[in-house]
Amino acid sequence: MKFNQFSILVMLFAVVCTFTACKEDNSINIFSIEDDKQLGQQLADEIASDPATYPVLSEADYPEAYGHLYRIRDEILNSNGIIYKDEFTWETKIIYDDETLNAFAGPGGHIYVYTGLIKFLESEDHFAGVLGHEIAHADRRHVTDQLTTTYGLTFLLDILLGDNQGTITDVAAGLASLSFSRGKEKEADEYSVIYLCDTEWKANGAGGFFQKLIDLGQGGGTPAFLSTHPNPDNRVEAINEKDVELMCPEGGDFVTRYQDFKNSLP
């Protein structure tokens, strides 16, 4: 019997489904680490080529803002629990959109945060909490996992066979609105606490961030972050409980220093 590449991929997909069926929410990820890195760079290049959708601030024009961002990112990456610290790029960019309260992760450690989110928050521990949450999505490989689930076999075929320009364009356009399961959101929350527990910040910074978003949503309208990161019951409570469980040091909020970060933005 003769098999073409499509038939082989279908059989491979079926085998992977068989062996991953016991995973939480039956998520499937057949990407290698190198695939994560390659796909992440392709998506980052596509985002950079589309300033209308993603108006990324230039590091050359805003060195102070990126200095703050990289300082926070690097302290998180130097904490405990990062699996792919040395393998992934951890390229982190600021998107100029004051109306959008959002941040998102791409494969291979590409992270994006909106100026609207940075300016909305009042303390550095809250921002570090959300950045840790997005780092966890990348480091726990939630992104390629969810892309596999969302785009299915056609997406896999395009990527694996190299016929992917149209697919890459579509995925890059929708990356900011990619939604994760509650299980993956819970894991990202937990790892945010684990990361920050080994830093100078309050380890439950993500809890304060989510509480402020929840309060805003209750006042009318749904912030972008909550529409793409569904908020299960007791989420803030779970973050605080993880902080207590790990017996994290008290840490600080660094309000004044964070104000300097906000002041460095356009």
pTM for the predicted model, two decimal places? 0.86
User: How many domains does one find in the chain?
Assistant: 1
DSSP 3-state assignment of 1? coil
Q: Is residue 7 part of a domain?
A: no
Q: Is residue 5 part of a domain?
A: no
Report the alpha-carbon distance of residue 137 to residue 178 in Å, rounded: 11
Q: Is residue 26 part of a domain?
A: no
Please tell me the predicted confidence (pLDDT) of residue 182. 85
Residue position matching structure tokens 């190198």: 34
Q: pLDDT digits over 154-181, tens only?
A: 665 676 566 666 777 888 888 888 888 8
For residue 166, give the nearest of 177, 176, 155 by alpha carbon: 155
Asked if 239 contacts 248 with a C-beta cutoff of 8 angstroms, the reply is no
Q: Is residue 20 part of a domain?
A: no
Please tell me the predicted confidence (pLDDT) of residue 21. 36
Q: Is residue 11 part of a domain?
A: no
Strands (E), the chain: 92-95, 103-106, 110-114
Q: Is residue 135 part of a domain?
A: yes
Report the alpha-carbon distance of residue 199 to residue 195 in Å, rounded: 7
Tally DSSP H helices, then E strands, for the chain.
12, 3
Q: Is residue 37 part of a domain?
A: yes
Query: Mind giving me the DSSP string for 106-140?
Result: EGGGEEEEEHHHHHH--SHHHHHHHHHHHHHHHHT
Q: Is residue 21 part of a domain?
A: no
Asked if 76 contacts 199 with a C-beta cutoff of 8 angstroms, the reply is yes
Q: In this model, does residue 201 exceed pLDDT 60?
A: yes
Q: pLDDT digits over 93-112, tens only?
A: 999 999 999 999 999 999 99
Say which residue, 15 or 77, is predicted with more confidence. 77
User: Residue 182's domain spans which residues?
Assistant: 32-263
pLDDT bracket for residue 248 (50, 70, 90) = very high
Please tell me the predicted confidence (pLDDT) of residue 224. 61
pLDDT bracket for residue 220 (50, 70, 90) = very low
